[in-house]
Amino acid sequence: MHEVAPGEAPFWLPWRRNVVPKPGVVADPVSSGDVVRAVAHARDRGLDLDVQCGGHGAVRALPHNGLLLRTGGLAAVEIDPRRRTARAGGGTRWGDVVTAAAEYGLAPVSGTSPDVGVAGYTLGGGLGWLTRRHGFAADNLVSAEVVTADARALRVSADAHEDLFWALRGGGGNFGVVTELEMRLHPIGRISGGVLFFPFERAHAILDAYRSLAHREPEDVVTAVVLVRPPDSDEVPEPLRGRPVVALRVCVLSEARDAARHVDRLLSATGPPLLGGLGPLRFPELTALSDPQPLPQVSEEHTDLFDALPDAVVDELVSVCEHPDSPVSVVEVRNWTGAPGRPPADAGPAGHRNTPFSVIAIAPGLNERTLEGARSAMARLAARLAPHATGSVFLNFLSDPGRVAAAYPPEHLGRLRELKRRFDPDNVFHLNHNIRP
């Protein structure tokens, strides 16, 4: 463990720079035994403990002189092509798992960004390109090794420590430090997809077609509509530079005719694109298509779930992204119908499986001068969307730790609190989407 010297340059910042940890000690374990010792060290000395992989989901800052446990030294991937499973160390990023599995024609239910950590994503439920066909990432977790608040390393599965295994599949980082995950992989054949960009004047028509077709969308088709206002920069292609556009992300996981017909119906409402196209892809290429914020930064986000997208919601989303002075420059709308609504009998607490639409609004690239204005703008947008939203959220998409209860149905939240009292009564693991004991 590394004791932080006064004035030492912070090498430990997370990807989401809204949160700035202030550790007194930094631990970089390379084994579960190292994690056991780090957890015991923090617990016995009464130190705040923060667990960090990539930091995409960072929501609470480590106070002064706490212990920051970074899991990057636990990164490892092992593929079992016969059993169609992968073992991933607790510090592994999705890009490494996707690349390793692709050598065998397999794919995990991975995040859409290759840089996101496997553990945090899966513990939060996990939604990605294969979710509509194969459910949440948590539904595909076979077993895990976890270090609990009393500094024990446990192997959990459907046959061992079943209550803890249930809690890990959607309960976030509340129950321990996961040092290894075993997950199911799925055969992946020829796929196609890409991103197409359209004039913003077509935003209403595209969103209208998207919402109308969503409930008929085959599970082999995965789509998202993104309203985005790119910067006026030489790094942005000229047709998109400095003006709002509509991006349509498309992934087709099979060569089935109904999948192709659905994409054709959707594209018939869009008109010709300004840029982009669809074509054959390998799964590892697909995962790199949809990260709207590739660099670490300060940003503000708001997310909601919707049973429907009425005109009032569409109008608000278009308006907030269109206005040149709005700090909200990215709005993503996604359809989640399909396999999430058919959970396995022993599914964990990852919730809101029958809600079709998610909306995420992002104000990226903020600084001290622009942060408060972005927060105010996001609060106004949230208030205007609230009458139409379900009031629920997906935990993985949540940046506001005050809304954690909205990520679970009441019966799941009650059971999670009971298990928190059992496995972490002192709330050792609290710098997260916290469920209080």
Q: Alpha helix locations (H) across 250-294?
A: 257-268, 283-286
Strands (E), 185-295: 186-187, 191-199, 221-228, 245-252, 275-281
* Tokens coding 293: 């914020």
Whether 158 and 268 share a structural domain: no
Asked if the structure places residue 2 within a domain, the reply is no
Whether 207 and 339 share a structural domain: yes
Per-residue pLDDT at 383: 98
Give dist(CA 229, CA 206) in Å, integer.
Answer: 16
Give dist(CA 31, CA 24) in Å, integer.
Answer: 22
Whether 78 and 55 share a structural domain: no
Whether 377 and 397 share a structural domain: yes
Per-residue pLDDT at 395: 96
- 172 — pLDDT class (breaks 50, 70, 90): very high
Give dist(CA 136, CA 124) in Å, integer.
Answer: 9
By C-alpha distance, which of 217, 43, 255, 261 is closest to 147? 43
Whether 210 and 257 share a structural domain: yes
CA distances, 32 to each of 167, 229, 327 (Å): 20, 44, 43
Asked if the structure places residue 53 within a domain, the reply is yes
Residue 42 identity: A
Per-residue pLDDT at 257: 82
Torsion of CA 142, 147, 150, 154, to 10 degrees: 40
Asked if the structure places residue 286 within a domain, the reply is yes
- Looking up residue 56, the CATH number of its domain turns out to be 3.30.43
* Tokens coding 80: 């079992």
Give dist(CA 106, CA 116) in Å, integer.
Answer: 19
CA distances, 425 to each of 148, 175, 389, 429, 437 (Å): 11, 10, 34, 10, 6
pLDDT mean over 42-71: 84
Question: How many domains, the chain?
Answer: 3
Whether 283 and 335 share a structural domain: yes
Task: Work out the mean pLDDT of the chain and round it to a whole number.
Answer: 92
Q: Distance between terminal CA atoms of the chain?
A: 29
Give dist(CA 406, CA 181) in Å, integer.
Answer: 26
Cβ atoms of residues 252 and 165 within 8 Å: no
Give dist(CA 375, CA 435) in Å, integer.
Answer: 24
Whether 138 and 255 share a structural domain: no
Give the torsion sign (CA, 16, 130, 343, 386). positive
Domain with 200 in it: 191-402
pLDDT mean over 33-55: 93
Whether 198 and 336 share a structural domain: yes
- Looking up residue 138, the CATH number of its domain turns out to be 3.30.465.10
Stretch among 3-7, 322-326, 433-437 having the lowest mean pLDDT? 3-7
Query: Could you read off the pLDDT of 54-64 as tens digits, one per residue?
Result: 766 666 667 77
Whether 371 and 324 share a structural domain: yes
- 1 — pLDDT class (breaks 50, 70, 90): confident
Per-residue pLDDT at 120: 95
Cβ atoms of residues 283 and 191 within 8 Å: yes
Residue 51 identity: V
Stretch among 56-60, 180-184, 405-409 having the lowest mean pLDDT? 56-60
Cβ atoms of residues 215 and 221 within 8 Å: no
- Which among 130, 152, 187 is the end of a domain? 187
Whether 249 and 318 share a structural domain: yes
pTM for the predicted model, two decimal places: 0.94
Whether 216 and 167 share a structural domain: no
Cβ atoms of residues 196 and 250 within 8 Å: yes
Whether 320 and 244 share a structural domain: yes
Asked if the structure places residue 434 within a domain, the reply is no
By C-alpha distance, which of 219, 332, 325, 202 is closest to 270? 202
